[in-house]
Structure 1
Amino acid sequence: MTIAIGALVLALLERLERLRFRASPLWRAHAASDVIYLLTGYVAGGSLALAYIVATSDWLGRIGLPRLAAPRWASVPLALVALDLGNYAAHWLLHRVDVLWEFHKAHHSSPTLDWLATFRSHLVEQTLRRLVGPTLLIVAGVPPDAVVVAAALFTAWAMLNHSNLALDLGFLERVLVTPALHRVHHVPRTTERNLGTVFVFWDALRGTLVRTGPGRDCTFGVPGETETYPQGWLAQLLEPTRRVGRGLSVARMWVDERRSGGARRFPF
């Protein structure tokens, strides 16, 4: 429901010339790939994640795991902050671990940012984000309904941040990530900046927060591969596995050469 309402509202707002960041057709290039990502990863995957949250919480409750000692009204805000922090940590790993970065490239490959681009995310990345964050919240004793509401708010804000909108949120930008701030992250030369999704705190603490958004003539994409990274859904599904497999083969050859006294340096 969150995705459907968010998609309708944002798609309409992106049609208004005075609000949009730059001109883009409603059904733009590679939209079909992103629709497949949406259906396979967020609709089907989200349903499985919801079932996982409920089942895990029920099991932990039966073994006597203590619940979060916080007022009911505070559970959702606390869950949202914790979920955003967990996703920030996962996002940082996706950029820092070479193998994970190969899977995260799919998300950065979109040449256009709009609400639909939110969902361009490899299944490996989605699994990492969906399981780690909610599991930590459940183990911490956050009620499952609070986790679900926080996850819905998180998704809605992620859709807004990827939207093709030029919004001035005023003082809220001191606390919340905006579309302008997140666009910085999708520009190849600043892809290590502004990793946050909802709150700016984490980037501010790490010194990676850039508060000035890119101009309308900016380019989005994978650093060094803006023109060459595949855009089809199936190709993006297979590309990381192919690259990781090739890297493992090269590493295995290097180890064999080292054992035989042939190699002198690591091949990467």
Structure 2
Amino acid sequence: METYIELIKKSYSGYWNYLKYELLDLNHWDNYFYGLIVISIAVWLLEIIFPWRKNQSIFRKDFWLDTFYMFFNFFLLNLIILIALSNTVAHFFNSLLQNIGLSLESFQLFDVNNLPKWLGLLVFFVVSDFVQWNTHRLLHRFTFLWNFHKVHHSVKEMGFAAHLRYHWMEPVVYKSLLYIPIAIIGNYNANDVAIVYFFAITIGHLNHANLGWDYGIFKYIFNNPKMHIWHHVKTLPNHVRFGVNYGLTLSIWDYLFKTNYIPHNGKDIELGFPGDEYFPKDFIKQELYPMFSKKSESDSNR
């Protein structure tokens, strides 16, 4: 028990020191805090210059709520729970494997660090994105998980910051299901992975932005605003009632596994989910919603 307490303490102190470093040190290119700000401002300017829904305000509905979510989920959530939880679970899992004579290396098929850097990063990115695509499907398929995911789908007007409006439980699910696949291929150091994260953040911001782009022929590879808006449509036909267009960064998985759905131009479709008029409007109540929602409410969409 003492080992876990010390691990949790080190996790909090370590991430706090890292966060201070991010805020105060502007001399490294992989600064996630200022990187997020630069990407957000750039995509917001694109929204302002090339608005798809021209009647949508620059400061759209829930703009400030989503901005708060963006910084809370990307930084403060790690400090409050995710880093300590992740390190504790990893230590427990490694100890469990050791007790039966195994280790994470036992599962490793190859190490991406032994590949040329560009190829290793590509493999890391593709494997991560595919696992996250599958995880996203689960969030829509199972009522327990969908109750958490409703926070993200409560967005009524799309904008770049809506990308990071999600319940704190979502990254717990994503990170848990990513743990073994990443162990199988090996992991890159933080500096190298920053390239992948910045790219994913940019695509994610663009997907949720007030932009009418589909990237032409590249729409079959990369998720895009015209595709992703249908993921947020309020009402879907019964044969796709559990959701469509699950891609996070890549759209290719949806085309390969036939979960793509763009019936027509989705510029003015209503967003949300059936019953969202009763969904909480403020941060605290949205975070508490899954624990206090009634079964009838949780089943209202799916």
- Shorter-normalised TM-score: what interval? 0.7 to 0.9
2:188 equivalent in structure 1: 143
Deviation per CA, 1:181-232: give whole Å up to 9, x if none.
000100022361101112222112221112455433211002x123222221
Deviation per CA, 1:241-267: give whole Å up to 9, x if none.
112xx54xxxxxxxxxxxxxxxxxxxx
Which one of 65, 68, 72 corresponds to residue 36 of structure 1? Answer: 68
TM-score (norm 2): 0.70
TM-score (norm 1): 0.78
- 1:219 maps to 2:270: yes
**Contact 1:83–1:151 (CA<8 Å) still a contact in 2?**
no
Separation of aligned partners in 1, 2:183 and 2:243: 30
1:181 equivalent in structure 2: 227
Amino acid aligned to 2:258: G
Deviation per CA, 1:45-96: give whole Å up to 9, x if none.
357868969xx79xx8xx7836234221211111111111111111011011
Separation of aligned partners in 1, 2:178 and 2:208: 21
**Contact 1:90–1:129 (CA<8 Å) still a contact in 2?**
yes
Amino acid aligned to 2:226: A
1:3 equivalent in structure 2: 36
1:228 equivalent in structure 2: 278
Q: Tell me the CA shift for residue 237 of structure 1.
A: 0.7
1:251 equivalent in structure 2: none
1:112 equivalent in structure 2: 157
Separation of aligned partners in 2, 1:73 and 1:15: 34
Which one of 196, 212, 223 corresponds to residue 166 of structure 1? Answer: 212
2:45 equivalent in structure 1: 12
Deviation per CA, 1:4-43: give whole Å up to 9, x if none.
1211101111112x44344322322222322221222112
Which one of 112, 125, 133 corresponds to residue 170 of structure 2? Answer: 125
2:292 equivalent in structure 1: 242
1:197 equivalent in structure 2: 248
- 1:94 maps to 2:139: yes
State how 1:253-268 maps to structure 2 within 5 Å: none
**Contact 2:160–2:209 (CA<8 Å) still a contact in 1?**
yes
Amino acid aligned to 2:46: L
Question: Which runs of at least 4 in structure 1 moved beyond 4 Å after TM superposition?
Answer: 46-53
> Which stretch of the first structure deviates more once superposed, 19-28 or 151-160?
19-28
Equivalenced residue count is 240
**Cα–Cα, structure 1 residues 225 and 4, in superposed 2: closer, same or farther, change >3 Å?**
same
Amino acid aligned to 1:142: N
Cα RMSD for the two superposed structures: 2.9
Separation of aligned partners in 2, 1:215 and 1:142: 38
**Contact 2:124–2:185 (CA<8 Å) still a contact in 1?**
no
**Cα–Cα, structure 1 residues 103 and 133, in superposed 2: closer, same or farther, change >3 Å?**
same
Sequence identity (%): 24
Separation of aligned partners in 1, 2:125 and 2:175: 14
Amino acid aligned to 2:160: W
Separation of aligned partners in 2, 1:50 and 1:161: 27
Which one of 18, 21, 25 corresponds to residue 57 of structure 2? Answer: 25
**Cα–Cα, structure 1 residues 166 and 42, in superposed 2: closer, same or farther, change >3 Å?**
same
2:19 equivalent in structure 1: none
Separation of aligned partners in 2, 1:182 and 1:213: 13
Amino acid aligned to 2:57: P
**Contact 1:184–1:214 (CA<8 Å) still a contact in 2?**
no
